[in-house]
Amino acid sequence: MKVRFAVSPGPGPYGARRFGAFVDGLEARGFDTMWLSDVPLGPEIEPIVGLALAAGRTTRLMLGANLVPVGRNAVQLAKQLAQLHEASGGRILLTLVPGTGSAPERAALGLEGMSRPAVFEAAVGELRRAWDAGPHGAGRPLELWLGGHGPRALERAGRLGDGWLGAAMAPFEVATAVSRITGAAAAAGRRIDPEHFGMSIPYAREDPGPAALEALASRRPGVDPRELLPVGSVALHRLLDGYLAAGCSKFVLRPVQVGDLDDELDWLARTVLPRQT
């Protein structure tokens, strides 16, 4: 399997200068991908904006994002993504996610009283139909990976997705998820490329404090958050080994705290890039 590493800028807002330094730093050090997360009500950079900014100042770096398609006009979104993919030389990677489902986010996205999974599936279909119609000049097809870890999300990934990016799961859970996705794809007469399974991994270089652990614990009750958030290089490599054995080979690394940006990227490059193939 080809092992690839993407890096997320981490929590909080990034100004133009810091975001530019982050993007430039990833390309200069040889990371495979920059990765952004769509947080509709958070201060993080909006993914379409961030991908466009990064595309304009890089030539090699792949550009990825977790994107919440619900609440957006599917035709306009399809056009934006298709043209951005073409303008970047086919470097856009996408994982579609349904959002957090919190009441404020549902209200902001216009989903009150609606089935979020049903709206999400409809959005996936609308994007594919728009691209198949070919009105936007996209010469390179976009792949749509899907996220989620529940039974319905895994079935959906096999039935509709081109790949899967998981998060907040132990390696033994990932092995089960890969098996379920593969089975769902086969049941739908499809096949998921074995290279198209990945995991998003929060990490810390030193003790991150209780807040980061509590945030993970709230997402996965009953799972020790220290099993999901490696601290230091040894723990990070151990978790990567587990995920690789479970069938994942693409990784999004998310620092839970960032001080000096160059120092952080230097440390991460020394730690993981020898494993990139």
Helices (H) and strands (E) in the chain, counts: 10, 8
Q: Spell out the domains of the chain, with CATH numbers in brackets.
A: 4-203+237-275 (3.20.20.30)
Closest CA to 120 of 161, 75, 48, 69: 69
Closest CA to 181 of 203, 205, 199, 208: 199
Say what the pLDDT of residue 139 is. Answer: 54
Tokens 């929060």 sit on residue: 202
> What is the pTM (predicted TM-score) of this model?
0.95
Tokens 């690789």 sit on residue: 244
For residues 277 and 91, give the distance between their C-alpha atoms in angstroms, rounded to a whole number. Answer: 18
DSSP-H helix ranges across the chain: 16-29, 47-55, 74-87, 103-108, 116-133, 151-160, 171-187, 210-219, 233-246, 261-272
The phi and psi torsions of 251 (rounded to 5 degrees) equal -135, 135
Say what the pLDDT of residue 108 is. Answer: 85
Say what the pLDDT of residue 181 is. Answer: 98
Say what the pLDDT of residue 172 is. Answer: 95
Residues of the chain with pLDDT under 70: 135-140
For residues 226 and 170, give the distance between their C-alpha atoms in angstroms, rounded to a whole number. Answer: 10
Say what the pLDDT of residue 153 is. Answer: 96
Say what the pLDDT of residue 13 is. Answer: 79
Say what the pLDDT of residue 113 is. Answer: 76
Dihedral, CA of residue 163, residue 181, residue 226 and residue 264, to nearest 10: -10
